[in-house]
Amino acid sequence: MKVTLTTERLIIAWGIIFSIFVAVITFKNEIEKDNVYFESSAGKVFNKIELALANVNRINREFNSLFYLLDEVREDEFRLLAGSLLRQNEFIEFIYFSEKVLAKDKLAYEKEMREDGYTGFVITQFHGDLFKKSEETEYLFPIKYIEPFNVKNSRWFGHDLLTLLVAQNAIASVSGNLKSLAFLPATGEENRLFAVQVLFNDYDDNLENKGLSDAFGILLYKINIRNIVADNKFFDFLWVSLDDKLISPRSNSMDAVTFGVYFEVSKTIYYGNQKLEIKAARRKNLFSFDLLMSLTVLLSGLFLTLFIWHIIRAHIEHNQFLAEQKKIIEEEVNAKTNELASAYNQQLALSEELEAFSYSVSHDLRAPLRSLNGFARAIEEDYGKQFDATAKDYLQRICKASQRMGTLIDALLSLSRLTRKDLLLEHFSISDMARMIVSNLQGEFPQREVEVIIDDGLAITADKSLMYVVLDNLIRNAWKYTKNESKARIKIGMEIQDGDKVFFVNDNGVGFDMAYSERLFGSFQRLHHQRDFEGDGIGLATAKRVIVKHNAKIWAQAEVDKGATFYFTLPPLEK
């Protein structure tokens, strides 16, 4: 089969179109990534401005506390607090405090200030663009303290704040609640913002019926917006407006960019009935973006198109050859499969033969063993009086050895039967089964005092008779290996490990060394001496056979002289 000219052209055309499409998507992702970074960066700047203005509120509360606690604040006290706050908040350029003075006491106040060392002090009005005639004739609010006090702002010393246009407008903006902090753009100054706070003699929040006559002073803060975002390198333009009046910069226009993109994000913050709007923008020429990725995608797509076209063409030309190779491989696989199946069947037959042989040998050994034991006991009964101590000891050893061998044969027969028995699944309680086994042990060993803890509600679906063998072996092991403990304790319970139910039998007996744990579940394997703990070495091997027959796992954890815990799982079988 051959590739037609039309098919080849379609493959190339599709590859070129797709490559261009992916390159455009990649470029758009670059723009979007840049926009996300811009919005995140702008958000940080917005938060800095919001936090800074929130700090003004906090500073204001500290001044309120100072004036509330002291009947009269001295200049050094004012400077100490104001200086500390200015150092912590560099965006505040100046803090002014004006004290209320009755108009009729104007001359007396001026004289008092001059006597306090302020030579030439007079109360005067602002002038020029800063001036607005005060409608209040009964009170004056001359600026008394300034921090920092320098040549630049000393000219405001003694000026009545009620004649300052900004102060009047700010107070008017919060006329419903004079206790609110009012913000207003600085007249004739870019990036500057004034914050005005009227001070009262108490903390009463209900000030609807109170006016300047109830106040004792006014605080004025001069804020530099640019100082808040001095380290900004994230965007090209930043506009800040208060109640739709532009603070920074004076112009809200930005030159357009040719073949580029324009990013913009804004945030509105409300302070009482005042609205502060912040808007950031960035313009970027298309060629200033990282085009390497888009070009790489485009070139890779074109190369991949040619490569795929070549592969498809080669594949079609060699299709017949591959089909023939496939047929050969299938024949070889079938041959190997048949070979493996034959080997498996042989192994299975051998395993069944070994099981049958083990059963037969064990069964056939029982008769001569019973005879040996019977004749040994008959000799002891009939001729025992004629034997000396050594002969009697040898005869006893013969009897015990034959009994032990009988026990081992019974265990082998039991182990062999397990592999032949089909599973009969049913739902039952492990808790009840464990209590029955413990009750049997208490009847067999009434002299033992063992604390046994069995969790309630332990239920499984399994072969009940086989699981009795497992649980009986594990509990008897725990009972046996705690015989030397003055306060023996056995616990049967369940826990969750990696989302699976894991049942366990725990004891505080002699334990064992985990270095020998691989021998634990082997036939006739013992980790303790026969003279210390009796047993045939078949119990745990039997338990493992049962658990494996259920397609589950069994394992143990122990420490010498600190006890052992045997764990086993069961698959989630339905009843």
Segment holding 548, helix H or strand E: helix 539-549
Q: Could you tell me which residues come within 8 angstroms of residue 420 by beta carbon, excluding any fewer than 6 positions away? A: 355
Flag whether pLDDT at 249 surpasses 80.
Answer: no
Confidence of residue 207 (pLDDT cuts 50, 70, 90): low
> Quick one: pLDDT at residue 419?
61
> Quick one: pLDDT at residue 205?
54
Asked if residue 202 and residue 88 are part of one domain, the reply reads yes
Confidence of residue 407 (pLDDT cuts 50, 70, 90): low
Q: Region 221-230: what's the mean pLDDT?
A: 80
Flag whether pLDDT at 252 surpasses 60.
Answer: no
The range of the structural domain enclosing residue 543 comes to 423-568
> Quick one: pLDDT at residue 568?
94
Task: Give domain status of residue 574, yes or no.
Answer: no
Asked if residue 406 and residue 452 are part of one domain, the reply reads no
For residue 526, CA distances in Å to 148, 516, 519, 538 come to 90, 10, 8, 9
> Quick one: pLDDT at residue 575?
42
- We report the CATH number of the domain holding residue 215 as 3.30.450.350
Flag whether pLDDT at 504 surpasses 90.
Answer: yes
Q: Region 401-406: what's the mean pLDDT?
A: 70
Confidence of residue 490 (pLDDT cuts 50, 70, 90): very high
Last residue of a domain, one of 378, 404, 420: 420
- We report the CATH number of the domain holding residue 329 as 1.10.287.130
Asked if residue 284 and residue 384 are part of one domain, the reply reads no
Confidence of residue 535 (pLDDT cuts 50, 70, 90): low
Asked if residue 389 and residue 534 are part of one domain, the reply reads no
Flag whether pLDDT at 160 surpasses 80.
Answer: yes
What does the mean pLDDT of the chain come to? 78
Asked if residue 10 and residue 150 are part of one domain, the reply reads yes
Whose tokens are 């063409």? That residue is: 313
DSSP 333-370: HHHHHHHHHHHHHHHHHHHHHHHHHHHHHHHHHHHHHH
> Quick one: pLDDT at residue 507?
93
Asked if residue 20 and residue 145 are part of one domain, the reply reads yes
Percent of the chain with pLDDT over 90: 10
Asked if residue 438 and residue 407 are part of one domain, the reply reads no
Task: Give domain status of residue 521, yes or no.
Answer: yes
Last residue of a domain, one of 317, 349, 378: 317
The residue that leads in pLDDT, 522 or 123, is: 123
Percent of the chain with pLDDT over 70: 79
The residue that leads in pLDDT, 434 or 410, is: 434
Asked if residue 413 and residue 427 are part of one domain, the reply reads no
Last residue of a domain, one of 317, 352, 374: 317
Work out the number of other CB atoms within 10 angstroms of the CB of residue 466.
Answer: 20
Q: Could you read off the pLDDT of 447-488 as tens digits, one per residue?
A: 988 999 999 999 999 988 888 889 998 998 899 888 888 899
Q: Region 17-43: what's the mean pLDDT?
A: 78
Decide: 164 and 219 in contact? Cβ < 8 Å.
Answer: no
Please state, in angstroms and rounded to a whole number, the distance separating the CA atoms of residues 541 and 470: 10
Flag whether pLDDT at 529 surpasses 60.
Answer: no
- We report the CATH number of the domain holding residue 544 as 3.30.565.10
Task: Give domain status of residue 204, yes or no.
Answer: yes
Q: How many domains does the chain have?
A: 3
Confidence of residue 501 (pLDDT cuts 50, 70, 90): very high
Asked if residue 278 and residue 137 are part of one domain, the reply reads yes
Q: Could you read off the pLDDT of 292-329 as tens digits, one per residue?
A: 666 777 777 777 777 777 777 776 677 778 888 888 99
Confidence of residue 411 (pLDDT cuts 50, 70, 90): low
Q: Region 360-389: what's the mean pLDDT?
A: 73
Asked if residue 177 and residue 142 are part of one domain, the reply reads yes
The residue that leads in pLDDT, 227 or 445, is: 445
pTM score over 0.75: no
C-alpha 175: how far from chain center: 50
> Quick one: pLDDT at residue 257?
47
Asked if residue 172 and residue 297 are part of one domain, the reply reads yes
Q: Could you read off the pLDDT of 107-117 as tens digits, one per residue?
A: 988 888 888 88
Task: Give domain status of residue 339, yes or no.
Answer: yes
Judged by DSSP in three states, 275 sits in: strand
Asked if residue 205 and residue 327 are part of one domain, the reply reads no
Decide: 2 and 316 in contact? Cβ < 8 Å.
Answer: yes
Task: Give domain status of residue 3, yes or no.
Answer: yes
Please state, in angstroms and rounded to a whole number, the distance separating the CA atoms of residues 61 and 82: 12
Task: Give domain status of residue 575, yes or no.
Answer: no
Residue (of 391, 396, 173, 147) closest to 275 by Cα position: 173
Task: Give domain status of residue 275, yes or no.
Answer: yes
Confidence of residue 164 (pLDDT cuts 50, 70, 90): confident
Q: Could you tell me which residues come within 8 angstroms of residue 338 by beta carbon, excluding any fewer than 6 positions away? A: none
Task: Give domain status of residue 118, yes or no.
Answer: yes
> Quick one: pLDDT at residue 474?
92
Flag whether pLDDT at 80 surpasses 50.
Answer: yes
Residue (of 149, 141, 147) closest to 124 by Cα position: 141
